[in-house]
Amino acid sequence: MKTEIADEKALAYAGEIIRSGGLVAFPTETVYGLGANAFDENAVASVFEAKGRPGDNPLIVHVSKVEDAEPLCYLTEEAKRLFAIFTPGPLTIIMKKKSVIPDCVTAGLDSVGIRIPGHKLARDFIAAAGVPIAAPSANTSTKVSPTTAQAVLEDMDGKIPLILDGGQCAVGIESTVLSLAGEVPEVLRPGAVTVEDLLAYLPRVRNHKGELKVSPSPGMKYKHYAPTCDCVMASSEESAKKRYDEETAAGRRAVILGNSAYHVGDRNFYDLGATPGDVAKNIFKALRDCEKNNDLIIVEEFSEEKLEFSIMNRLKKSTQGVLI
Ligand code: TXA
Ligand code: MG
């Protein structure tokens, strides 16, 4: 199959592909998604196949406006309020599902994640399709999530007919996954809507800190965001420089990723930008750019607060917990 990259002029075609059971990759403000008609079990099965994704890891469902979520799940007043405050935008809310959502979408769970993306092209695509869109990130399972159409092409070339190109994703890390399906509201995956942001409206909300094996979010137990080369986190500029010098002395190619103020002399440095927002926007693209021509990526350690906590959540997985 030939994979085409096209802009918003291809929206009507994208809608046709979805209604006939095919897959379309599309931009959102977080990362690119790999979309299928959420009501079509065969189309959903082909999403799992194209990604190589384990069948027990549920997909979230995207709608273009909150009214379209009503037939899909038991939408509480609390959920409606949160959608009104934080969306369209990078927040997914898990609620009890209605039976129209096939079990294969939710991997047999009785809950479903609903998201209303902030990127206009994403909402226009969902509206053009005329059905809710089940979509994970558009990467091969275990690899770094794609934040450009080119990154989607690297993983999906020949597997899907169309990638809608909406430029580089502005947020750059996946949506916050908030569960309202349990006893206590819980952030299962931190994102740009932080637990600090949610606390003002949901005083009992907490970040999930459980053991992976009892995780309520199946995706959390799998290897994730792994570059194809080695990747470690540096606790200081000194340890980054020391490791870099050892690697390059041994003939290995290395790069240091850090924010604009990180000082590593004249070593090979990839500037992630000045603010936490810049770092979030650029981090996945940086990992994908650097894995291609390096043996080792050394990345700065960030703080455990607000957006940096969400960035660290991804980087701990990319580095598989290796802190130097
Ligand atoms: O920003 C995003 O959320 C992107 C864009 C494309 O919208 N999508 C995305 O999907 O990141 P995915 O499949 O890569 O990550 C969804 C996460 C997974 O960790 C999955 O296990 C969890 O959400 N999840 C989905 N449905 C769930 C449910 N019913 N209960 C608990 N966790 C759920
Ligand atoms: Mg993903």
In the predicted model, residues of the chain with pLDDT beneath 70 are 210-222
Residue minimizing CA distance to atom 29 of ligand 1: 112
Contacts of 234 (CB under 8 A, 6+ apart): 240, 243, 256, 298, 299, 300, 301, 323, 324
- Residue 211 is predicted with a pLDDT of 39
Q: How far apart are CA 151 and CA 117, in angstroms?
A: 20
Q: How far apart are CA 50 and CA 316, in angstroms?
A: 26
For residue 188 and ligand 1, the question of a CB distance below 6 A is answered with yes
pLDDT digits (tens, 9 = 90+) for 258-289: 999 999 999 999 999 999 999 999 999 999 99
The rounded percent of the chain whose pLDDT value lies above 70 is 96
For residue 87 and ligand 1, the question of a CB distance below 6 A is answered with no
List the one residue out of 137, 134, 173, 169 whose CA is nearest residue 155. 137
If one residue of 98, 155, 217 were mutated to test the ligand 1 pocket, choosing by the most ligand atoms within 8 A of its CB, it would be: 217
Q: Are 242 and 248 in contact (CB under 8 A)?
A: no
- Ordered strands of the 296-300 beta sheet: 230-234, 296-300, 254-258, 269-271
- Residue 39 is predicted with a pLDDT of 98
- Residue 212 is predicted with a pLDDT of 36
| Max Cα–Cα distance, the chain, nearest Å | 61
Residue minimizing CA distance to atom 18 of ligand 1: 219
- Burial tier of 277 (Cβ tally within 10 Å: 0-12, 13-18, 19+): middle
Q: How far apart are CA 36 and CA 266, in angstroms?
A: 47
pTM of the prediction?
0.96
> From ligand 2's centre to the CA of 266, what distance in Å?
35
Strand 186-189 relative to strand 176-179: parallel, antiparallel, unpaired?
antiparallel
* Backbone dihedral angles phi then psi of residue 239, each to the nearest 5 degrees: -70, -30
- Residue 214 is predicted with a pLDDT of 38
Half-sphere exposure of 265 (CA within 13 A, CB side): 8
Ligand 1 atom showing the smallest separation from residue 109 Cα: 29
- Residue 82 is predicted with a pLDDT of 98
If one residue of 177, 225, 284, 310 were mutated to test the ligand 1 pocket, choosing by the most ligand atoms within 8 A of its CB, it would be: 177
> From ligand 2's centre to the CA of 145, what distance in Å?
6
- Residue 216 is predicted with a pLDDT of 54
In this structure, the number of other CB atoms found within 10 A of the CB of residue 56 comes to 12
